[in-house]
Amino acid sequence: MNPAEKLSPVVEPASEPAGTDPGATKNYTPKNGFLELGSTSIKFYLVALSGERAGEVEKELKIPWDLGYEVFQNRRISPTTITSCLKALRDLSSRFPEIPFEGVTAIGTSALREAQNVDIFMRLLKEDLGLKVGIIEGGIEAFLLELGFKGSVREFPTGLFDLGGGSLELVEYLSPHSTRKTSVPIGAIRLHCLLRRRRNIFDYIQGGREIVLDSMQAYIGGLPYTFRELIGTGGTVRAIVHSLKKDCFQISDLHGLIQRELRGEPQGELLPYRRRVFLPGLLVVECLFTALKVKEIAYRSASVKGGLISLTRLIPLAGA
């Protein structure tokens, strides 16, 4: 999507159980809305607050946008993106009239943390929709990831990483009662913005590997143990397993995908906004094999949404 284009209406529904009608009043279950304003997309979650499905995501919608490209290149959110975002959120508000946007829990991650004009953006959201956005630090992102996924961990030590557009969150589950969380400021979009002026694709790949390995050495260092399992999540890892047609992969699989990039071959039916950052995402995940000395990465669905929903059921997010 060109930054000058308007954000598309709500697209790519990730889950929508049959028979859920946001305007229906029969058998109505109280719900709340959650918004995650990330580097690559705006995500909206509709969550039941009571009954048998309390705490479950009943509907998940995604709106791709170019926020990460704008901020990591120019440090600012463009007027076009602000206007388009307001329109997309107004459409959401109209589509779900039973969810007052004044009560929606909304968080912003790495791109909003770094945008120099984020205060203007947040003020417009508040004035137009009554929406308050809490900007969370990378460590809080990793904490929410840990909180939402910890019930699925059976072996220790297990590693879980979420590669986003602006940063990589790594959670090390050392024991049932001990974790270590790290946020590395190197995501797929950020890396692409750093490499966009490279002379050719070979220089792009070599430079990308150097940047990622230096960042991982600075933020992660050498680990005194090897993970029993390394789990990857997020859009880039999902795109990798989609292209490979398997849920577990090794570094040799990534080398094959990188070679396909060099030859200009298509990588499956990736959405356009995902296709643009596929190569830099491959380079980040490839370097994880080297930095963490693991032989295999397994894909599983995980995100900050699980931790966010769990946390806000107990304590409202500050500033949201």
Contact 96, 30 (CB under 8 A): no
Regarding pTM above 0.95, the answer is no
Residue 62: which H helix or E strand, with range? strand 57-64
Cα-based angle 12, 38, 150 (whole degrees, multiple of 5): 90
pLDDT at 311: 66
Of the three residues 100, 135, 170, the one that is the final residue of a domain is: 135
* Same domain, yes or no: 155 and 286: yes
Report if residue 2 sits inside a domain: no
The rounded distance, in Å, linking the Cα atoms of 93 and 91 is 5
- How many CA atoms, within 13 angstroms, populate the side-chain half-sphere of residue 190? 20
The rounded distance, in Å, linking the Cα atoms of 90 and 101 is 9
3-state DSSP helix/strand/coil percent for the chain, to nearest 5? 45, 20, 35
Q: Which residue, among 70, 74, 92, 73, has the nearest Cα to 8 in the 3D structure?
A: 92
pLDDT at 4: 41
Q: Is the pLDDT of residue 81 over 50?
A: yes
* Same domain, yes or no: 99 and 187: no
- Which CATH number do you get for residue 36? 3.30.420.40
Q: Is the pLDDT of residue 317 over 80?
A: no
pLDDT in tens, 204-217: 999 999 999 999 99
Which residues, in sequence order, are CB contacts of 60 under 8 Å at separation 6+?
13, 14, 15, 16, 43, 44, 45, 46, 305
Q: Is the pLDDT of residue 248 over 90?
A: yes
Average pLDDT over residues 166-182: 95
* Same domain, yes or no: 118 and 143: no
pLDDT in tens, 303-313: 777 777 776 55
* Same domain, yes or no: 129 and 164: no
- What is the total count of domains within the chain? 2
| Structural domain that includes position 224 | 139-299
Report if residue 6 sits inside a domain: no
pLDDT in tens, 1-52: 444 445 654 444 444 443 445 444 455 567 889 999 999 999 999 988 777 7
pLDDT at 10: 46
Contact 179, 173 (CB under 8 A): yes
